[in-house]
């Protein structure tokens, strides 16, 4: 089952401000499509959409307001 990860590319080189999973854009258990924005993550002053890598049923594994690190898994997608 594919993971929904916070891309390491969202952090600038040399500085790692704290990332926060600001909110989920879809509910736990919802059907999502590949490329659909499923969550919003704030890193410093910037807000970034996190997209699903594949279509399927989203299972949230990280709650809103949780601190996130580069590459961390925030959800799984089940076919």
Q: What integer is the mean pLDDT of 57-73? A: 96
Structural domain span for residue 46: 3-78
CB 6 within 8 A of CB 41: yes
What CATH number is given to the structural domain containing 16? 2.40.50.100
Q: What is the pLDDT of residues 30-61, one digit of tens each?
A: 999 999 999 999 998 889 999 999 999 999 99
Q: What is the pTM of this model?
A: 0.92
Q: Give the pLDDT mean for 58-68.
A: 97
Task: Find, among 16, 36, 10, the residue nearest to 24 by Cα.
Answer: 36
Stretch 6-29: mean pLDDT: 87
């Amino acid at each position: 089952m594919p993971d929904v990860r916070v891309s390491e590319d969202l952090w600038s080189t040399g500085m790692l401000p704290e990332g926060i999973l600001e909110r989920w854009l879809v509910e736990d258990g919802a059907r999502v499509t590949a490329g659909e924005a499923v969550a919003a993550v704030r890193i410093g002053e910037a807000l970034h959409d996190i997209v699903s890598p594949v279509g399927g049923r989203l299972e949230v594994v990280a709650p809103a307001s949780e601190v996130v690190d580069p590459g961390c898994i925030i959800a799984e997608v089940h076919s």
